[in-house]
Structure 1
Amino acid sequence: MAADERQIIPLLEYDASPQAFIEPVDVRQPVDVPRACVLSWFHDGIERLVGRLDGRQVVENRWEDGPHPLFEVDMEGRRVGLVPMPVSGAAAGSLVEELIALGCRSFAACGGAGSLRPDVTLGHLVVVTSALRDEGLSHHYLPPGRVVDADPAAVATLEATLTEHGVPYVAGRTWTTDAFFRETPAKIAARRDEDCVTVDMEAASIAAVARFRDVRLAQLLYGGDDLSGAAWDHRSWRTQHEVRDNMLALAMNAALRMEA
């Protein structure tokens, strides 16, 4: 890229070349793993689920920040993977790259998010239909743009799963940001005006990776802490173990249905 073609902001210097200097297959070789995989930030929930279903670890996957192993469990005679995810879009997106290189192809992600609307109460589920790209990683996978739309087929599968199980939810956009401590009142108001229902740190990033690699991915969030009022309300959102365990079961079902 010539100097006069460069953008003021480096993140906008998108390179559409499909080949990178280091490819995921340079660090991860395909192995016998489930094609359907659940990505979750509920590490304790994954531990409970693996123990309850007699799951096993199939890939160690140890990073500098600790282990992010790929577990396998049996759900009605079918294999499904479970991966405890790292926080932040850069880390999460890179781990998804490695999982794709290993052989996973259909992903259902579940995590918590800050609520930007008062009707998204504690534990209420949100199906991500698009993500506002206020983070870094997605801009290396897709041309510059304000939002990334979710995979409509994967979203439809996730919504069908929730409907069939009688689980209420809302569908909408999430605001993905790198800066947890820079969610200012002005930005919160602006994102709400752009129809953002929640705020999170990974959704846009992993959606961009999935689109770039042409794999299925849907995302399910639940209303955690509340940013919709005059003051922040933590709502003890990390203690919602039953919500998290139910979400993992629903995500497993959806991931397997994507592979049907």
Structure 2
Amino acid sequence: MTDHHDGSVPILANKHYAEESAFQPGNLLREARRQKGLAVRAVPAICVLDPDGDLVRRLRRDGRATADRDWACYHSELDRFVESDLEFGIVGCVVGASYAVLVAEQLFAAGCRLLISMTSSGQLQPIRPPPYFILIERALRDEGTSYHYLPSSEFSQADAGVLATLEGAFDGLREPVLSGATWTTDAPFRETERTIAAMTARG
């Protein structure tokens, strides 16, 4: 039997959250720019991750999205669009936590200040007839990526200051925005009925 120091599971061992990473996203972007002959160009301050790809496809179809040819990420494409006089960056089809943080880290290194992720989801507890949006206040951590960023805990919590800032921001929208919890999982096709029942019981 392997000794995992304090008896923790292997994925929780040897995480040093206060230490700087040995691999910096800015360095990767710099090398990609050098190899591809790209200009240094900041991304918009507000960016959107669109895991389903529906938003970016619609923006492209409507002629509202412009491809950012200087986006230096090896693994994704960045589009720019304007809404209410604000410029946004958007990256489509960023599916899964490990890919999402890879892109997110590079966006922040390139000038993003606020990153919004919007995606579809299944519902374990029917709150009301769809469509509606959920502003996630807490997430049950059942994937591996978050354990590289935060010490072990059952839930991750949204920043209270951010939630307070958003109070009333969605009033009057055509589709309602509710607050609630989500379950982050790496394997949606490997969840059993008993596991789903247990997650539903936790809200």
TM-score tier by shorter-chain length is: 0.7 to 0.9
8 Å contact kept, 1:35–1:105:
yes
- Give the 3 Å change call, closer, same or farther, for CA 4–127 of structure 1 in structure 2: closer
Deviation at 1:39, TM superposition (A): 1.2
1:151-179 CA deviation, whole Å, 9 max, x = no partner?
23333455533214253232111010111
Shift in CA distance, 95/6, structure 1 to aligned 2, threshold 3 Å? farther
Equivalent position of 2:178 in the other structure: 170
Contact 1:85 1:92 in 2 (8 A): no
1:84 aligns with 2:99: no
CA RMSD between the two structures: 2.2
Give me the identity figure in percent. Answer: 30
Q: Which amino acid aligns with 1:173?
A: A
Alignment of 1:52 with 2:53, yes or no, is no
* Aligned-partner SS, 2:26: helix
The structure-2 alpha-carbon separation of the partners of 1:4 and 1:122, relative to structure 1 and needing over 3 Å to count, comes to: closer
Counterpart position of 1:25 = 26
- Of 18, 21, 36, the match for 2:46: 36
TM-score by length of 1: 0.65
TM-score, L = length of structure 2? 0.82
1:234-256 Cα shifts (integer Å, max 9, x gaps): xxxxxxxxxxxxxxxxxxxxxxx
Instruction: Confirm whether residue 124 of structure 1 aligns to residue 132 of structure 2.
Output: yes
Letter in 1 for 2:191: E
For residues 42-191 of structure 1, the aligned pairs below 5 Å read 42-52=52-62, 54-58=64-68, 59=71, 61-63=73-75, 68-158=76-166, 160-191=168-199
Q: CA deviation at 1:78?
A: 2.1
2:9 alignment counterpart: 9
Tell me: higher relative CO, structure 1 or 2? Use CA pairs within 8 A at least 6 residues apart. Answer: 1
Q: Structure 1: any 5+ residue segments left out of the alignment?
A: 196-260
Paired residues, number:
189
* C-alpha deviation, 1:75, in angstroms: 1.9
CA positional deviation for 1:24? 1.1
Q: What code does the residue aligned with 1:140 have?
A: H
Structure 2: unaligned runs, 5 residues or longer: 31-39
| Shift in CA distance, 169/4, structure 1 to aligned 2, threshold 3 Å | closer
Distance 2:177 2:64 in 1: 30
Q: Deviations over 1:48-84 (max 9, x none)?
A: 2144353312226342xxxx21111122322111111
Give the secondary-structure state (helix, strand or coil) at the position aligned to 1:20: coil
Aligned partners of 1:50 and 1:73 also within 8 Å: no
More helix by share: 1
Q: Give the Cα separation in 2 of the matches to 1:179 and 1:47.
A: 26
* Range moving further from structure 2, 42-51 or 131-140: 42-51
In structure 2, give the amino acid aligned to 1:139. Y
CA offsets 1:2-29 (integer angstroms, 9 cap, x no match): x673544122122124322211111124
| Aligned amino acid, residue 44 of structure 1 | D
Equivalents in 1 of 2:97, 2:167: separation in Å? 24
**Aligned in 2, Cα 1:4/1:147: closer, same or farther, shift over 3 Å?**
closer
C-alpha deviation, 1:117, in angstroms = 0.8
**Judging changes above 3 Å, is the alpha-carbon distance between structure 1 residues 104 and 186 closer, same or farther for their aligned structure 2 residues?**
same
Task: Please identify which structure carries the higher strand content.
Answer: 1
The answer (yes or no) to whether the contact 1:130–1:173 under 8 Å persists in 2 is yes
For 1:81 and 1:153, the matched residues in 2 are separated by 24
Question: Equivalents in 1 of 2:152, 2:198: separation in Å?
Answer: 20
Q: Secondary structure at the match of 2:117?
A: strand
Query: Which AA in structure 2 matches 1:21?
Result: A
